[in-house]
């Protein structure tokens, strides 16, 4: 299934129904007076977080969201039916931005046609106005408010206006262009170069089944696994697709998945300590740290550790000694995810950090 974590949508709430002009007409009541009812309210467009939704693929196939209009008022003081609200399910961790005018599609004008090719500006969330950050399950946000129904002529009667023919049309529903973006929420994030063993590690830590293959960029979208303990304690770990040098400049998968790291409270740098891809573990680690700092400087202040993977391969032990001399005062956990060695140490480290970070939050 297609994974979508950023999509531009257009929302149009329902218009309110117009009021009615009507007069009471009954036998023996020659001058019954006005009895036109009010119009119904238009439907709202409401985003609601759902536990069974993990990406924005539904908006990809339906980027134009419409809500129904309110019903018209009728005679005998009958009010029009209010339209139902349009609920759109989104995953927890969804952000909603208002698109700037530069990225809002304009109506086509034949006189403004120009054969010269123009470079389209690249849309970034930083250029948009943040409207909502949906981080809790069941949280709702009204994307577009429906219009109020119009008033019937019964509201305009007075001692000087016995037979009013005035009414008001319903208000128009709100309309706008929005950027909807998903940032995965997980306690820990696995960060590393392609083929470092992140997906294998996640599969050993949790019941998740990410795709594992001996070629780069096997993981094309973030995968979240739940780590469970015997005392029923649970935490989530996200496998972030492989980063490369220049990811902060949108090279490789670039910003497509760097945004998901921002939500993680603990960073685990998974390093191929054997250098099986012909890479230097120390250089890989420093490159990863630099790319994260370039993307978001606040990531440097978060707790982190190094997962020295592929320790079962030749030269891994020697590389680990050199790594410890080069990267001092770092928490390093040697493992072999493929042989399930050192997995219990990673699980215990995650539990300790969860307790530590939770205590700091309670103190704050």
Provide DSSP, 135-182: -STT-EEEEEPPPPPPPPGGGG--SS-SS-----PPPPPPEEEEEEEE
What pLDDT is stored for residue 120 in this prediction?
A: 44
Longest dimension (CA), the chain: 106
Q: Which two tokens stand for residue 234?
A: 């649970």
Higher pLDDT, residue 16 or 117? 16
Q: Which two tokens stand for residue 343?
A: 């997995």
Contact call for residues 35 and 75 (beta carbons, < 8 A): yes
Q: Is 32 helix (H, G, I), strand (E, B) or coil?
A: coil
Distance from C-alpha of 18 to C-alpha of 72, rounded to nearest angstrom: 5
What pLDDT is stored for residue 363 in this prediction?
A: 42
Contact call for residues 224 and 301 (beta carbons, < 8 A): no
CATH for 188-363, options being 3.40.50.300, 3.40.640.10, 3.40.630.30, 3.40.50.150 = 3.40.50.300
Q: What integer is the mean pLDDT of 239-263?
A: 62
For 294-350, write each residue's pLDDT tens digit.
888 888 888 999 999 999 998 899 999 999 999 888 899 999 988 999 999 999 999
Q: Which of 21, 12, 17, 145 is nearest to 81 (CA)?
A: 17
Distance from C-alpha of 18 to C-alpha of 8, rounded to nearest angstrom: 31
Higher pLDDT, residue 361 or 170? 170
Specify the range with the lowest mean pLDDT, choosing from 230-244, 272-286, 294-308.
230-244
Determine the topology of domain 6-182 in CATH.
Answer: Spo0b-associated Gtp-binding Protein; Chain: A, (2.70.210)
Q: Which two tokens stand for residue 199?
A: 């997906």
Angle at 131 between CA 173 and CA 48, to 5 degrees: 70
What pLDDT is stored for residue 125 in this prediction?
A: 63
Q: What integer is the mean pLDDT of 201-219?
A: 67
pLDDT of 261 higher than 90: no
Following CA atoms 313, 315, 318, 320 in sequence, which dihedral angle do they give, to the nearest 10 degrees?
Answer: -50
Which residues make Cβ contacts (< 8 Å) with residue 339, sequence separation at least 6? Answer: 312
Q: Which two tokens stand for residue 37?
A: 């009812």
Q: Which helix (H) or strand (E) holds 320?
A: helix 316-326
Write the secondary structure of 46-60 as one string of H (helix), E (strand) and C (coil).
EEEECCCCCCCHHHH
Q: Which of 304, 302, 306 is nearest to 332 (CA)?
A: 306
For residue 272, the Cα-to-chain-centroid distance in whole angstroms is 31
Domain ranges of the chain: 6-182, 188-363
Label residues 47-86 b or e (16+ Cβ within 10 Å = b). Answer: bbbeeebbbbeebeeebebbbbbbbbbbbebbbbebbebb
Distance from C-alpha of 202 to C-alpha of 166, rounded to nearest angstrom: 68
140-144, strands of its sheet edge to edge: 86-90, 45-49, 140-144
What pLDDT is stored for residue 297 in this prediction?
A: 85
- pLDDT category at 114 given cuts 50, 70, 90 is very low
- pLDDT category at 53 given cuts 50, 70, 90 is confident
pLDDT of 362 higher than 70: no
H-helix segments, 171-296: 198-205, 255-261, 281-295
């Amino acid at each position: 299934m297609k994974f979508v974590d950023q999509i531009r949508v257009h929302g149009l709430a329902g218009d309110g129904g117009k009021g009615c002009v009507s007069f009471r007409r009954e036998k023996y009541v020659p001058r019954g007076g006005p009895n036109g009812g009010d119009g119904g309210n238009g439907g709202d467009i409401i985003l609601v977080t759902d536990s069974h939704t993990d990406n924005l693929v539904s908006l990809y196939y339906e980027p134009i969201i419409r809500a129904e209009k309110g019903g018209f008022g009728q005679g005998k003081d009958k009010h029009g039916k209010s339209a139902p609200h349009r609920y759109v399910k989104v995953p927890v961790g969804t952000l909603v931005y208002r698109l700037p005018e530069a990225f809002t599609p304009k109506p086509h004008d034949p006189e403004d046609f120009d054969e010269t090719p123009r470079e389209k500006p690249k849309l970034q969330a930083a250029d948009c106005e943040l409207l909502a950050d949906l981080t809790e399950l069941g949280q709702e946000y009204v994307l577009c408010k429906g219009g109020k129904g119009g008033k019937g002529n019964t509201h305009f009667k007075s001692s000087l206006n016995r037979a009013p023919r005035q009414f008001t049309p319903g208000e128009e529903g709100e309309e706008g262009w929005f950027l909807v973006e998903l940032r995965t929420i997980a306690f820990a994030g696995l960060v590393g170069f392609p083929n470092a063993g992140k997906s294998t590690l996640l599969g050993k830590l949790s019941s998740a089944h990410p795709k594992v293959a001996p070629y780069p960029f096997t993981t094309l979208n973030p995968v979240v696994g739940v780590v469970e303990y015997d005392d029923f304690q649970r935490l989530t770990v996200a496998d972030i697709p492989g980063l490369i040098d220049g990811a902060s400049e949108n090279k490789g998968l670039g910003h497509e998945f760097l945004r998901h790291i921002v939500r993680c409270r603990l960073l685990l740098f998974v390093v191929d300590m054997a250098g099986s891809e012909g890479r230097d573990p120390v250089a890989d680690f420093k490159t990863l740290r630099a790319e994260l700092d370039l993307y978001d400087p606040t990531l440097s202040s978060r707790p982190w550790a190094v997962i020295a993977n592929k320790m079962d391969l030749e030269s891994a032990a020697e590389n680990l000694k050199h790594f410890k001399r080069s990267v001092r005062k770092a928490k390093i956990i040697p493992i072999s995810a493929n042989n399930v060695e050192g997995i219990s140490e990673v699980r215990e480290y995650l539990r300790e950090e969860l307790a530590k970070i939770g205590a700091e939050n309670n103190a704050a």
